[in-house]
Chains A and B, each alone.
Chain A
Amino acid sequence: MTLNGWIQIALFFALVTALTRPLGGYLQRVLNGEKIFLSRLLGPLERGFYRLAGVDDGAEQHWTRYAVSVLSFSLAGYLTLYGLQLLQGALPLNPQYLPGLSADLSFNTAISFVTNTNWQSYGGETTMSYLTQMLGLTVHNFLSAATGIALAIALIRGFTRRNAQTLGNFWVDLTRATLYVLLPLSVFLALFFVWQGVPQNLNGYTEATTLEGAKQVIAQGPVASQVAIKMLGTNGGGFFNANAAHPYENPSAITDFVQLILIFLISAALTNTFGRMAKNELQGWALYSAMSVLFLAGVAVAYWAESQGNPAFIGMEIDQQASAMQAGGNMEGKEVRFGIAHSALFATATTDASCGAVNAMHDSFTALGGAVPLVNIMLGEVVFGGVGSGLYGMLLFALISLFIAGLMVGRTPEYLGKKIEAREIKMTMLAILCMPLALLGFLAVASVSPLALKSLANNGPHGFTEMLYAYTSAVGNNGSAFAGLSANTPFWNLTLGVAMLVGRFAVIVPMLAIAGSLAAKKYTPPSNGTFPTDSGLFVALLVAIVVIVGGLTYFPALALGPVAEHLAQRAGNLF
């Protein structure tokens, strides 16, 4: 570990914190339907959309109606994306003449992008035509992120409305989040990335002759426009197979730093939006603090573990110390232009938020360093989390925490003046249960299925971790891959696809049910007997509940994966 490394991590966290409040306020104004500086320019466009789609932007929706809108919108997105991939060979903007995808890969990828997961069983530059990248994947990067924001706002409305029947209008929330937040920021960021050297063209791949005289194909295309929303919307699906480790996708330390900020940007800001709408910004900062504690703990462990180097080298008289001459630590699978600190930070942030972009190969991390991304996803993608999904995930954990806290102070539990009763607990448990069910269930099947096991590159606990990571990433809608697993087989494409569906929609529907039931409740003003949810104690309790629920659920699996591997490595056994 170096001072320089810690300063970069601190600088990153400081910048995210500084941006939280202004963007949080902007999001609140946008989603409240208030006029903002872009209204003049984009207002007519917005109203035009509503007219075109026949949406009455004044009509609010009951939670069931809201849920049906989300589901039908996602289904439509899935079907069009599925078709686009199957048929891309016959469609224009395909200079490399890439053929249509297999049915199982199209299924997997369509679900992956609709659910904001962006798991990639394929290599982008060798599979997807420019049309698919632009019209299919990039469009869904916008829409799945905007859907997440809309859902988070619907839940916040549930908390802050009183005796209300409706949660807002999904079509309006979706449109405003895209038009006033994601699009303008992405345009600006894409231009920035182009300036930094990211390609943005529709040319065919360049064939070059290397110094040794060998032929090399250099892939390119409309990269910058996709990378901007890929990071901003916590999508994480790379244009290239190597994702953010590819020099065209993430050319410099500056682009890396900006991309890091983008991972947390909207999710962090939404905590502030939550606080503002609850009329007490401290409520938002409390959630922000709980997320920060978990983030900082993760990045510290990952950075420490990677800086220590390979435990198997201990006793071999190999110098793993950082010095002026070498990075030290474990540099396997990391880009030299980013180094250990940025790689550990990126791995932590991308898995805290359900982004899933990678600038280093998690498979090559040490057992403990690689366990950090894994555990981050297992916690339920609530450490800032995906845009929107992180906030509503964390709020579900807050409900559980406050239920237990409420009992312990001798009152019917409440949050923001809304009583937490049997219905809320039932729905919260449903949402929380679906993740271990899909994750452990599929993992159990894969562990004994020769069909699954032949895709593994390693055996022993490391191979187990590769499978564990894949399902965790899918269910958590993260999308990052541990590598080492050849996932483009019908078995993996299908099971991972279903896992992604469960991880997204089995949470969304109960969550909206909670929002609907909370909105209909009356408000109980706080008193001395109410447990304050803007206090340090609440933050500590929330962190503890998130860690305990995640820890208790996955302890056996973790013991057989990274823990067993780490202990074996120390004893000199490799897998």
Chain B
Amino acid sequence: MRHRKDANLLFEKSLLIPALTESFRKLRPSSLAKNPVIFITALVSLLATILFLRDGLTGGGHLLFSGQIIVWLWFTVLFANFAEALAEGRGKAQAASLRQTKTQAIAKRLLDKHDLASVEQVPATALAPGDFVIVVAGDLIPGDGEVVEGVATVDESAITGESAPVIRESGGDRSAVTGGTRVLSDQIKVRITAAQGAGFIDRMIALVEGASRQKTPNEIALNILLAGMSLIFVFATATIPSFAHYAAAGNQAGEISVIVLVALFVTLIPTTIGALLSAIGIAGMNRLVRFNVLAVSGRAVEAAGDINTLLLDKTGTITLGNRQAAEFLPVPGVTEQALADAAQLASLSDETPEGRSIVVLAKEKYGIRGRDLSGLQARFVPFTAQTRMSGVDLGEEGAANAQRIRKGAVESIVDAVIRNSGARAIPAELKIIAERVSRSGGTPLAVAQNGRVLGIVHLKDIVKGGIRERFAELRRMGIKTVMITGDNALTAAAIAAEAGVDDFLAQATPEDKLALIRKEQTGGRLVAMCGDGTNDAPALAQADVGVAMQTGTVAAKEAGNMVDLDSDPTKLIEIVGIGKQLLMTRGALTTFSIANDVAKYFAIVPALFTGLYPQLNALNIMKLGSAESAILSAIIFNALIIIALIPLALRGVRYRPMAAATMLSRNLLIYGLGGLIVPFIGIKLIDLLLGATGLVY
């Protein structure tokens, strides 16, 4: 898998400085309001600051201590902004490389779409959907569109990163072109399909920058949970002064300052996950982009984690694109060597992948090397749709040593042989061998020499290495794989068994695909699929996650909710992983955040109440230096942990395919138990440091 390398470094200097300035810019109320937990934190920090200023003016309170608390309160807000800014900055870095392609192109617009000569030169920005333009070799394509005439090679490296040029032609499944890519040869007429600023690259830039990011359903639900928990802590802390007043019974000793209460409140509310929530979302999107997949929304990424059923095309995803010769099966009376020899001769000039694989097999198995065809006076007979055979003629025509070798579909060869030599020339075993090959998932290819059938070459679909293990992984994750193929049921079943998919759809038409998706969805399952053709569009639109190939048609790309720039169908598996990782990171940090509260209570509650009931110092199990040091340590830990967890938020928690229960117990152990223990250690360490520096008493 090829990654865009620019975003791999987490804390690159070029990203840090803009992120720092952006953290301050994000203090705008309108920007803070998007995140309830951080918004509340900023509000109470403001309140504490105002009280601090009042104390400063009136000379009351302990200014050094409350000053430090206020500094760390604002750091908490700034760190949250920083996490978001950093995630956005990494997206912007990716976007910058995309934006370079959006140089001001000049379009050759057709005044009359039927008249190629009626060209006017306009800036690309002036184009509207429905305009027709001519693009010749060397030109940048001015906007997203569809080739309506001509064929050209196009350099799409700007968006795919792939340097090899691709063919774009009118009609069929390769008609879509993207604005900002360059035509290398020939000339095409393009109908513009996207408005300026709404094109493919524009959308991509907006998405990776996080500008058009909308909260995903799970993120909204989590935000509600976090806001609810914050409210609980509002009740828990706001009622403390009145409880303390009762306990003090008129005594001044136990009075609790508002600034300290604010500190307690901010440490208790889930600031850790609140601060990192949007960074996690943006980073998830960026991870997809690094895999060269573009999602139209975060919702689609989230849905990918929920996928129950994966529809995979056989060719190119499960099997290698081409069939390969696997064995030579002679009829009785013919040696394997003779069959291999004839088949190799017939294939030497055959440039199809199947033909080449026969030559390779003959060499590997029988040591038959390439021969000088001209010395043999060979004449290659190419494959035609009429004969459905190809082959070679050797020696002078009509001479005694002349040979005619043919290979092709079994029925075609049988027909030809019967025509020449009568039905008796067909050995009975031929049919048996051919059927056996079919049943094993292969394609039988008959070989005949001078009107005599020699045997069968077994052409096999080669299942990709390691794919079986990946399907097993998916099964462990609870995802069912369905193979889609145009093959007959017999062949499909054999390949399905070999590849280890759970189910298959044979002789599949686009309607069959759509019906299958609908059936799975009525059963409550979420379906992911990929496709590239226009006839895939309905299924792509129906699927919960539809990944269109970049090489595909405009219709396919519009219908799906993701586009794979590498046009690699196996990527569906990675996409599912990224979706799951996104949710897991949120869950893990939420758990961590909540578990942290236990230690914070044990730090702050004794500090608050020992003035009232000295015996409550027994709760100070961390043996923190003083009440002030305890409160300060807790708030400092609370702020620093945000910074410490930014890399985890951006990278995502480690994800391995395994059953849900195993995964949960593992994550609970790391983030639940870890979240319980880590703050005890962290707060104690900060307390020791504070004591050593003498910043508190």
Contact = CB atoms under 8 A, between A and B. Distances in A.
The answer to whether A and B come from one shared complex is: yes
Interface in B212-231: 217-218, 220-222, 224-225, 227-229, 231
Contact of A559 (B222, B246, B616, B672): B616
Contact of A548 (B238, B480, B588, B594): B594
A408 B585 CA distance: 7
A525 B524 contact: yes
Nearest to B618: A567
A364 B605 CA distance: 27
Given A448-B246, A524-B308, A571-B615, A408 B587 contact: yes
Contacts of B587: 404-410
A421 B222 CA distance: 9
A530 B660 contact: yes
A191 interface: no
Contact of A408 (B242, B243, B667): B667
How many chain B residues sit at the interface, stated as a range, is: 35 or more
Which residue, B477, B524, B581, B618, has most C-beta atoms of chain A within 10 A? B524
B651 interface: no
Given A411-B305, A432-B228, A525-B524, A444 B242 contact: yes
B60 interface: no
Interface string A394-418: 0000001001111111111100010
B236 interface: yes
Interface residues of A, number: 69
Nearest to A573: B615
Nearest to A443: B239
A459 B503 CA distance: 73
Contacts of B242: 443-445, 447-448
Interface in B303-343: 305-306, 308
B430 to A, nearest CB: 46
A552 B475 contact: no
A410 B236 contact: no
Which residue, B479, B588, B618, has most C-beta atoms of chain A within 10 A? B618
A494 interface: no
B305 A555 contact: no
B477 A528 contact: yes
A448 B244 CA distance: 9
Which residue, B308, B476, B601, B615, has most C-beta atoms of chain A within 10 A? B615
B661 A403 contact: no
B477 A441 contact: no
A295 interface: no
Contact of B659 (A459, A461, A528): A528
A65 interface: no
A201 B192 CA distance: 94
Contacts of A430: 228
Nearest to B247: A560
B524 A523 contact: yes
A440 B247 contact: no
Which residue, B225, B245, B580, has most C-beta atoms of chain A within 10 A? B225
A534 B24 CA distance: 48
Contact of B609 (A548, A559, A568): A559
B523 interface: yes
Contacts of A409: 580, 584, 587, 660, 663-664, 667
Contact of A448 (B231, B237, B240, B245): B245
Contact of A400 (B225, B302, B475): B225
Contacts of A447: 242-243, 245-246
A535 B591 CA distance: 20
Nearest to B526: A524
Contacts of A532: 660-661
A464 B660 contact: no
A444 to B, nearest CB: 4
Given A522-B524, A528-B476, A459 B231 contact: no
A557 interface: yes
Nearest to A468: B243
A304 to B, nearest CB: 19
B218 A412 contact: yes
Contact of A531 (B601, B605, B608, B660): B660
B661 A535 contact: yes
Contact of B479 (A524, A525, A529): A529
A236 to B, nearest CB: 27
Contacts of B109: none
Nearest to B601: A555
Contact of B660 (A411, A420, A421, A459): A411
Nearest to A527: B478
B279 to A, nearest CB: 16
A488 interface: no
Interface string A72-87: 0000000000000000
Contact of B305 (A404, A410, A548): A410
Contacts of B222: 403, 407, 425
B613 interface: yes
A422 interface: yes
B590 interface: yes
Given A524-B525, A548-B594, A563-B619, A537 B235 contact: no
B232 A422 contact: no
A410 B581 contact: yes
A567 B616 contact: yes
B579 interface: yes
Nearest to B240: A556
A426 interface: yes
Interface string A266-289: 000000000000000000000000
27 contacts: A408-B584, A408-B587, A408-B664, A408-B667, A409-B660, A410-B305, A410-B582, A410-B587, A410-B663, A412-B217, A412-B302, A422-B224, A425-B222, A429-B225, A429-B228, A444-B239, A448-B245, A464-B243, A523-B524, A537-B664, A537-B668, A551-B598, A552-B233, A552-B601, A556-B239, A564-B612, A568-B613
Given A404-B591, A436-B232, A564-B609, 17 more contacts: A403-B225, A409-B667, A410-B583, A411-B583, A412-B217, A412-B218, A412-B305, A422-B217, A425-B224, A432-B232, A433-B228, A440-B235, A443-B239, A443-B242, A549-B232, A552-B598, A556-B608
Interface of A: 400, 403-413, 417, 420-422, 424-426, 429-430, 432-433, 436-437, 440-441, 443-445, 447-448, 453, 459-461, 464, 522-525, 527-532, 535, 537, 541, 544, 548-549, 551-557, 559-560, 563-564, 567-568, 570-571, 573
